[in-house]
Structure 1
């Protein structure tokens, strides 16, 4: 190893040899790579000394699997594939909708043999989704074609609520509110024979049956009055059983507890939080350039070769960030809480009579008044966003997915930072009646 001292440096400069036989291509001692000749008598060895302040290769920044990164076409998450149908299973629905309220944390004992935390307490983040009962208002039949599924017919219920009819109008206030008035007469004419005829066509020709269901958004604390409508596939049993099941649900509420179970692993479909037009450093996570870089640091220095004379699709560029349609798999249900239960946040270890709504309400959402789902971890979307919850597409057999969750504590303290009190009574007992009013 060459040591850089005064005499060593002079000797090193004298022993520098050109990399090739031309004088004009002499390699300077300041170049990151040069050749050192030890002596004329010893064997000539070439050593390459490189600067180590940066790498010359690195993995790309950001995934190309989600292109194009543009705004979602619809506000509600769309189910692009439902679970595979099994006629041997009983007839059941495969999805519901809810509204994201916020997050909190829970304490539980981990049941995972082999883990260092086995039989020990762990603190985990959870998301609360308010799920008021859905109302089934129709049924759709699909036939299989060489180009995929095609709608054969749609049958609607006789009575539809105004919050659903608002979905079919851009301006409900100025409209005549005549939607479905003519269709409702079909249920009364001839004893509803035309409706029965359409249902018989579904039984005879269709292979896939889906119900039309909408949320009861008026039961939440949201200001919006327009309900969200979606198709939910009916799985299990024969086609005749599916049609009978769907017809029996007309104008009836569907509780979330009738679709999902505790400890079940489900999928979440939603539109992420929007951030507008963002630069390349925030959008793709590219490295900032050095401090003295001309015309900015938060840029990509090289956006491609001279030819082909275009910017490739894989090059990170500025643009829309967020408000993308995303599907997150394998979210475990920690609890299905009832809105009518005054102690729907209590546990066997924490018998305090408290509800899931934290002190002061969920920030930017308010009070959870209806049934709710408690899912492990975070989910896409901002507060108040409609969330589509779907049964998992795969069969789960791992010990982690089949683990039985037993909660010991659910945090209901203020999410706005005003103390760690779990209930109003606890705050009064600690601070006093007059001070607790603040």
Structure 2
């Protein structure tokens, strides 16, 4: 018979369909994790680059307990955030919002589709029955090493009781927040976070690179860099599970269970000549273990890990970037 006697596993995951370009370069979060920290539940940052550090393993169950371990990590720059508006929600539906009085330079920096509204006052919002409070914040990339002025606008919930969260939002409205224990108490060394970002775009790619298929034998007809068969003769339809050429990269991805290994100011590092493809960081820096999606200068949104557990802050003996 003209079929194989052995079974081969399906190439490429079916969990990431459709493999198309993300709708926006700004990542979004569907599920937030709350720990009653009394601060923001998310942290937007710009990807600077990667380095490695050496730390002493303090986890007693690890086979490397007491030894020096080398760990690759990603450095992110966190510029000050400007709180533009406050929004209150009930069962996922927005009930009202209140915008800050922005000056003309700040309004010009915002993207064209982000037009400041009027909304209601904080006193009117207090009268509503809501169960969640979120703030609309804009980054300040002109205070980083990226070299651009147009900020990204992200909506982040406040990790507190609704009444207390509204008090915090009212105090923050129109002000600038920095990476400190007041605005981001949950993001500290040792905390477990998830990195949400848009992956690096690759453009058009074939099924070999896109799905990791094997090359066909060298005596195959018509093609070698493709599937052996795209489906039966009848019905004359190519199944959606067959790998086809198309867009590769620039996808919305979530990288789970990253550990925060360091938080420091850019002035404590010596960036001789700047970081490759980025520049010289000038704001607060945060380092997370491993890699995160996207190229340098890409916006990364950190949230508390949905399934990871925090660790003890690592005792760093050497840092390749410093």
* SS of structure 2 residue aligned to 1:205: coil
Q: 2:85 aligns with which of 123, 127, 138?
A: 138
Q: 2:280 aligns with which of 360, 364, 367?
A: 367
Matched with 1:350 is none
Matched with 1:289 is 216
- CA distances 1:348-381 after superposition (whole Å, capped 9, x unpaired): xxxxxxx153x32211101111101111000000
Contact 1:137 1:160 (C-alpha < 8 Å) held by counterparts: no
1:406 equivalent in alignment to 2:315: yes
Contact 2:86 2:97 (C-alpha < 8 Å) held by counterparts: yes
Q: TM-score by structure 2 length? A: 0.91
Task: Give the 5 Å matches for 1:110-129.
Answer: 110-129=57-76
Contact 2:20 2:251 (C-alpha < 8 Å) held by counterparts: yes
Q: 1:77 aligns with which of 27, 43, 46?
A: 27
1-side partners of 2:19 and 2:145: how far apart?
32
Change (3 A) 1:291 1:394: closer
Cα offset for 1:116?
3.4
Contact 2:98 2:122 (C-alpha < 8 Å) held by counterparts: no
* SS of structure 2 residue aligned to 1:257: coil
- CA distances 1:262-320 after superposition (whole Å, capped 9, x unpaired): 11111111000000010100000000112232223211111111223211111111110
Q: 1:389 aligns with which of 288, 302, 306?
A: 302
Contact 1:142 1:209 (C-alpha < 8 Å) held by counterparts: yes
Q: 1:68 aligns with which of 1, 13, 18?
A: 18
Consecutive unaligned residues in structure 1, runs of 5 or more: 1-30, 32-53, 173-178, 187-193, 345-354, 413-421, 423-438
Cα offset for 1:325?
0.2
Contact 2:145 2:279 (C-alpha < 8 Å) held by counterparts: yes
Contact 1:210 1:232 (C-alpha < 8 Å) held by counterparts: yes
Change (3 A) 1:310 1:249: same
Matched with 2:264 is 337
Q: 2:175 aligns with which of 252, 256, 263?
A: 252
Task: Give the 5 Å matches for 1:29-428.
Answer: 56-84=6-34, 89=36, 91-144=38-91, 149-160=92-103, 162-163=105-106, 165-169=108-112, 180=116, 183=118, 195-201=121-127, 204-237=128-161, 239-258=162-181, 259=184, 260-339=187-266, 342=267, 344=268, 355=269, 357=271, 359-394=272-307, 396=309, 401-412=310-321
Change (3 A) 1:160 1:68: farther
1-side partners of 2:107 and 2:23: how far apart?
21
Q: Who wins on radius of gyration, i.e. which is larger?
A: 1
- CA distances 1:88-123 after superposition (whole Å, capped 9, x unpaired): x35221012111010111111222334432222221
1-side partners of 2:237 and 2:259: how far apart?
45
* SS of structure 1 residue aligned to 2:163: helix
Change (3 A) 1:363 1:393: same
2-side partners of 1:386 and 1:55: how far apart?
48
Q: TM-score by structure 1 length? A: 0.68
Consecutive unaligned residues in structure 2, runs of 5 or more: none
Contact 1:164 1:227 (C-alpha < 8 Å) held by counterparts: no
* SS of structure 2 residue aligned to 1:78: coil
Cα offset for 1:394?
4.2
Change (3 A) 1:375 1:305: same
Structure ranking higher in strand proportion: 2
2-side partners of 1:405 and 1:363: how far apart?
26
Q: Which has the higher contact order (CA 8 A, sep 6+)?
A: 2
